[in-house]
């Protein structure tokens, strides 16, 4: 029996969150043997070798991409595990990348998809499941069941799911799968079924938590309104998870990012205070765990800020001091450029949420001088300027971000942000609106094969905003000229031309 098979058997017999050891490497490889960009070649090699494909989709500027590249992808044991796969790296700005994104239904960076040699999907994960990825790779190395077949079995007969099936479903990227579930929350019905059918213990709690964060919806004010069933589930599941440090680690993304807002929405003030204090305390242990990535340790303080601001209250001085101390720590600890790219934007956002815009600005402006992707932080500075009601500064930062952005898909996205900023901050300046919108269309024209998936979705949403701006500000003549300009671009988009021509209706 190969060591991978033996370890997998032992792992699957143990608890899902308790099996955290990484097997010893079988080779001396120092880096993953990525095939850069050529998915067809990787699939052809997979068919010849019988190995599955591990497809990683990311972007140079993306913070969570840099997190996974600076941690898991440098781990010798994980590198050895990838030798059982054909690893292919698909940068979102590489030629044809958005078309592949369309085929596989990928939109968010980063995403890791395991594919069978015939190109069918076995599973997908985001950076939030990074620590589960080694075990998932071991479970999928010889798997012949597609994810569609697994979903079908989970829907029709969840009692027949194997431990292997439960492991893959527990680690699956439920929030980033437009191919199977559409937008956020689309997986809620299946997650509810899995939560009801899961074996008792941490698996059942994991799926109950996933169902909660998938189905809860924030209102226009950003606050959540919880049903009685959701309130009961939080009161039942959250204390049990928080009582187990291993479960807190395994579920730290949901506990740091979504759960604080759900706890803050509980109408029972006593329960809200009790669960909030328990959540903050449990996440404090995550923050102190030096084995975890810096972004994960930083994110835990989001609970302090969110709970402190519940009901519109100002952030207390003690919470602000805690945020500043945590930010200062990661600023000093993040010496590697890739690690800094993974954490600084989040650090600035936490300062902003805690009420320290001046501190956020200082952090971002300092990072412009040292980052390989400074345009990423310029959009953060534009957002801060908007919050301060400084429209000209917001537009200037958004324009500079677009002008300095690199990569065809990235430049389209940053041009869209520039155009949206102009429409929000100077809607009466028709010339400025038209100029910024032309920037988007011109960037699209530079990549005739790029009107797919992430780009298509973002352009569709932006186009709807342009149409709304036109209706509200008498911009029909501007819209007509933009439409004519877009028609020339769409004519060079091949099979995507018809969709492209509907750019103001595609949202």
Is there a domain that residue 203 lies in? no
Say whether 336 sits in a helix, a strand or coil: coil
Token pair of 207 as six digits: 């799926």
The answer to whether the beta carbons of residues 280 and 256 sit under 8 Å apart is: no
Give the per-residue pLDDT at 29: 64
Structure confidence by residue, pLDDT tens digits, 180-218: 776 555 688 899 999 999 999 999 999 999 999 988 888
Give 268's DSSP letter. Answer: -
The answer to whether the beta carbons of residues 93 and 409 sit under 8 Å apart is: yes
Query: How does strand 121-125 pair with strand 111-115?
Result: antiparallel
Rounded average pLDDT over 466-495 = 96
Is there a domain that residue 18 lies in? yes
Lowest mean pLDDT among 364-368, 389-393, 422-426, 493-497: 493-497
The C-alpha torsion from 54 through 57 and 61 to 67, rounded to 10°, is -40
Is there a domain that residue 139 lies in? yes
* Cis upstream peptide for 110 (omega within 30°): yes
The answer to whether the beta carbons of residues 249 and 213 sit under 8 Å apart is: no
Range of the domain at 22: 1-181
For the cut 70, the answer to whether the pLDDT of residue 438 exceeds it is yes
Give the per-residue pLDDT at 177: 65
Angstrom distance (rounded) from CA 419 to CA 255:
35
Q: Around Cβ 223, how many Cβ atoms within 10 Å?
A: 13
Is there a domain that residue 98 lies in? yes
Give the per-residue pLDDT at 187: 82
Give the per-residue pLDDT at 506: 57
Rounded average pLDDT over 78-86 = 90
Is there a domain that residue 389 lies in? no
Q: Give 34's contacts (C-beta < 8 A, 6+ positions apart).
A: 56, 87, 88, 89
- CA distance readout (Å), 423 to 134, 394, 430, 436, 467: 45, 11, 9, 9, 11
For the cut 50, the answer to whether the pLDDT of residue 24 exceeds it is no
- pTM of the shown model: 0.85
For the cut 50, the answer to whether the pLDDT of residue 28 exceeds it is yes
Is there a domain that residue 223 lies in? no
What CATH code is carried by the domain that includes residue 76?
3.40.30.10
Give the per-residue pLDDT at 312: 87
Q: Around Cβ 425, how many Cβ atoms within 10 Å?
A: 20
Angstrom distance (rounded) from CA 267 to CA 275:
12
Is there a domain that residue 135 lies in? yes
With 0-12 CB in 10 A as exposed, 13-18 as middle and 19+ as buried, what is 350? buried
For the cut 50, the answer to whether the pLDDT of residue 381 exceeds it is yes
Is there a domain that residue 53 lies in? yes
Band (pLDDT 50/70/90 cuts) for residue 505 is: confident
Structure confidence by residue, pLDDT tens digits, 140-171: 877 888 888 999 999 999 999 998 899 889 88
Report how many domains make up the chain: 1
Band (pLDDT 50/70/90 cuts) for residue 330 is: very high
Structure confidence by residue, pLDDT tens digits, 298-327: 999 999 999 999 988 899 999 999 999 999
Q: Which helix (H) or strand (E) holds 124?
A: strand 121-125
């Amino acid at each position: 029996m190969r060591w991978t098979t033996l370890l997998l058997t032992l792992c699957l017999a143990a608890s899902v969150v308790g099996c955290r050891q990484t097997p010893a490497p079988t080779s001396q490889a120092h880096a993953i043997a990525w095939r850069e960009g050529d998915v067809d070649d990787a699939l052809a090699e997979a068919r010849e070798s019988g190995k599955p494909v591990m497809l990683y989709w990311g972007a140079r500027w993306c913070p969570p991409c840099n997190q996974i590249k600076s941690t898991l992808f440098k781990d010798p044991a994980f590198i050895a595990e990838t030798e059982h796969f054909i690893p292919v790296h698909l940068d979102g700005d590489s030629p044809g990348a958005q078309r592949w994104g369309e085929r596989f239904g990928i939109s968010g960076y980063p995403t890791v998809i395991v594919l069978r040699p015939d190109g069918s999907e076995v599973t997908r994960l985001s950076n939030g499941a990074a620590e589960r990825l080694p075990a998932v790779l071991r479970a999928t190395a010889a798997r012949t069941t597609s994810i569609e077949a697994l979903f079908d079995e989970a829907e029709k007969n969840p009692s027949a799911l194997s431990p292997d099936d439960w492991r893959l479903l527990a680690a699956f990227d439920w929030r980033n799968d437009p191919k199977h579930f559409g937008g956020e929350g689309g997986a809620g019905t299946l997650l509810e079924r899995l939560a009801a059918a899961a074996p008792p213990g941490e698996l059942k709690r994991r799926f109950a938590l996933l169902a909660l964060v998938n189905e809860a919806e924030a209102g226009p004010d950003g606050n959540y309104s919880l049903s009685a069933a959701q309130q009961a589930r939080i009161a039942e599941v959250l204390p049990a998870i928080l009582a187990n440090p291993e479960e807190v680690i395994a579920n730290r993304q949901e506990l740091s990012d979504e759960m604080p807002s759900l706890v803050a929405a509980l109408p029972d003030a006593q329960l809200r205070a009790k669960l909030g204090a328990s959540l903050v305390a449990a996440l404090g242990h995550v923050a102190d765990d030096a084995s975890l990535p810096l972004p994960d340790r930083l994110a835990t303080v989001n609970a302090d800020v969110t709970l402190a601001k519940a009901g519109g209250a100002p952030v207390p001085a003690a919470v602000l001091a805690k945020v500043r101390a945590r930010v200062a720590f990661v600023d000093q600890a993040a010496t590697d450029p890739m690690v800094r790219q993974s954490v600084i934007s989040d650090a600035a956002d936490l300062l902003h949420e805690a009420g320290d815009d001046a501190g956020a600005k200082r952090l971002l402006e300092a990072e412009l001088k040292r980052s390989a992707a400074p345009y990423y932080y310029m959009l953060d500075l534009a957002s801060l300027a908007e919050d301060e009601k400084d429209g000209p500064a917001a537009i200037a930062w958004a324009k500079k971000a677009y002008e300095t952005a690199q990569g065809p898909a990235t430049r389209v996205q940053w041009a869209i942000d520039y155009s949206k900023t102009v429409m929000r901050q100077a809607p009466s300046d028709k010339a400025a609106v038209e100029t910024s919108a032309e920037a988007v269309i011109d960037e699209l024209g530079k990549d005739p094969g790029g009107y797919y998936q992430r780009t298509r979705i973002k352009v569709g949403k932006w186009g709807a905003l342009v149409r709304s701006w036109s209706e509200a500000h008498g911009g029909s003549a501007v819209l007509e000229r933009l439409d004519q300009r877009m028609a020339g671009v769409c004519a060079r988009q091949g099979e995507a031309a018809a969709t492209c021509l509907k750019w103001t209706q595609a949202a």
